[in-house]
Structure 1
Amino acid sequence: MIYLVEHFYSIQGEGKYVGTPSLFFRFGGCNMKCEGFGCKETASDGAEVLGCDTVYAVNKEHFLQNWIPINKAQELLSILSLYDLPEAVDIVLTGGEPLIYANDEIFVDFLEVLVEQGHQITFETNGSLAVDFEKYPVYKECVFALSIKLSNSGEPLNKRLRGNVIYNIASNAKDAFFKFSIDKESINIALEEEIESVTIHSPQTKVYCMPVAGSKKELEENTEPLIEFCKAKGYNFSDRLHIRIWDANKGV
């Protein structure tokens, strides 16, 4: 079963295509929890859930009542008609982790129609789940923002870093780039080594570093130290415009 959490038309707030008008589809479910990021969300049952800044799209136990079950591709495609969109607007698939549905027939059908209509599709993924580019060639027409999780996520190394998956995606995708979430406390020599342990699997892929943030206040606290880190290492700094402008992650 595919679950859609929310959809919204906005600008891309992060990474290589920052500022690009984009229609976002946020899917429910993830293969990680990332409790190390320390973001909290209160569920309708009163439970305070710890995780990433979109924990409401990760934690099925407490947020399932807000997830929309999808039974056919047309249910997703019909969402485009709800907005006044420019022709072939960029589509961003995020989560949670959208690639948990990579082998689902409904999901693949959805992608194929979007590509036929001329949309650029960007996956925001943690880069730990394999994609079958030969069986589903539509993925070769997609862009992948590889948000590989670092130790500050709280996830074990063997779960968050899969070099063969990173190499396969970067080698087969239309475009790919690394996007790391970093807080000021994590900026040290160990961080440099961590990032290099990821990028070694695709050395030509560009690196973007963005501040860990669940709010504008947290974004501002982590921004300047991260800019200095990027200047020293030659990485690209990525702002998080949606948080800086709207102080929120949901539906903006």
Structure 2
Amino acid sequence: MLYLVEHFYSIQGEGRYVGTPSLFFRFGGCNMTCKGFGCTEQLEDGSEITGCDTIYAVDKEHFLKNWIPINRVEDLLNVLDIYDLPNAVDVVLTGGEPLIYANDEIFIEFLKALQKKSHRITFETNGSLGVDFEKHPVYKECIFALSVKLSNSEESYRKRVRPDIINSISLNSKDSFFKFSIDAESINAALDEEIEDISSHAPNIGVYCMPVASDKKELEQNSMELIEYCKDRGYNFSDRLHMRIWDKEKGV
């Protein structure tokens, strides 16, 4: 079953296309939990769960009741009619991990319809799930923001770093770039080795470094040292513009 968590029209807050007006589709489910990021979400009973900053789109056990089951491609395409959108506005598919649906028939049909309407499609993916570019050539016209997880996610290396998949996406997609989430405590020699190791599997694409944050305060705490790191290493600093503007508010 394909699940949509939320949709919203905003500006892209991260990566190469920051500031670009974009229609976001956030899909439910992920193959990772990334508890190392330490972001928390409070449940109805007052308890908290820990994971990434979009844990409400990851944790199926606790949040499934808020996810929207998608049974027809029209359920997704009709979203475009809700908003007053510019022609061929950018569409960003995020999660969770949207590529858990990479072979879903409705999902593929949705991509083809977007492509036919000339929308630029960007996937925000952890880069650990493969795409069949030959079977589904629509993916060749998509952009991939490869948010490959570092050790600070507390996911195992074998699970989070898939050289064959990273290389395949970089070679077959219309465009791709790395987007790493980094906290101040992780900025050390080991971080250099991690980024160099991962980026070696797609050496010709850009590297963006983004502060780990669950709110504006944490964003500011992790930004300055990371900016200096990017200046020293020649990487691109990626702000989280949406969080800087709207803080913890969702769906904006």
Give the equivalent residue in structure 2 for 1:212. Answer: 212
Give 1:250 shift: 1.6
Give the equivalent residue in structure 2 for 1:147. Answer: 147
What do residues 52-109 of structure 1 show as CA deviations (whole Å, max 9, x unaligned)? 0000000000111110000011100000000000000000000000000000000000
Give the equivalent residue in structure 1 for 2:119. Answer: 119
Give the equivalent residue in structure 1 for 2:163. Answer: 163
User: How high is the TM-score relative to the length of structure 2?
Assistant: 0.99
Give the equivalent residue in structure 1 for 2:245. Answer: 245
Give 1:249 shift: 5.5
Report the 3-state secondary structure (helix = DSSP H, G, I; strand = E; otherwise coil) of the residue aligned with 1:16.
helix
Report the 3-state secondary structure (helix = DSSP H, G, I; strand = E; otherwise coil) of the residue aligned with 2:109.
helix
User: Residues of 2 paired with 1:91 and 1:99: CA distance?
Assistant: 15
1:173 aligns with 2:167: no
User: Residues of 1 paired with 2:48 and 2:2: CA distance?
Assistant: 25
Give the equivalent residue in structure 2 for 1:137. Answer: 137
- Seq. identity, %: 71
Give the equivalent residue in structure 2 for 1:31. Answer: 31
Give the equivalent residue in structure 1 for 2:56. Answer: 56
Give 1:42 shift: 1.0
Q: Which runs of 5+ in 2 are unaligned?
A: none
What is the identity, as a one-letter code, of the residue corresponding to 2:53?
D
Give 1:179 shift: 0.1
User: Residues of 2 paired with 1:28 and 1:47: CA distance?
Assistant: 21
User: Residues of 2 paired with 1:203 and 1:156: CA distance?
Assistant: 22
Give 1:48 shift: 1.0
Q: Which runs of 5+ in 1 are unaligned?
A: none
User: Residues of 1 paired with 2:56 and 2:69: CA distance?
Assistant: 15
Give 1:49 shift: 1.1
1:203 aligns with 2:165: no
Give 1:26 shift: 0.3
Give 1:45 shift: 4.2
Give 1:127 shift: 0.1
Give the equivalent residue in structure 2 for 1:222. Answer: 222
User: Residues of 2 paired with 1:198 and 1:20: CA distance?
Assistant: 27
User: Residues of 2 paired with 1:190 and 1:145: CA distance?
Assistant: 23
Give the equivalent residue in structure 2 for 1:84. Answer: 84
CA contact (8 A) 1:45 1:62 kept: no
What do residues 177-207 of structure 1 show as CA deviations (whole Å, max 9, x unaligned)? 0000000000000000000010000101100
What is the identity, as a one-letter code, of the residue corresponding to 1:141?
E
User: Residues of 1 paired with 2:242 and 2:114: CA distance?
Assistant: 24
Aligned residues: 252
Give the equivalent residue in structure 2 for 1:10. Answer: 10
User: Residues of 2 paired with 1:41 and 1:120: CA distance?
Assistant: 32
User: How high is the TM-score relative to the length of structure 1?
Assistant: 0.99
Report the 3-state secondary structure (helix = DSSP H, G, I; strand = E; otherwise coil) of the residue aligned with 2:180.
strand
User: Residues of 1 paired with 2:62 and 2:135: CA distance?
Assistant: 35
Give the equivalent residue in structure 2 for 1:182. Answer: 182
What is the identity, as a one-letter code, of the residue corresponding to 1:29?
G
RMSD: 0.7
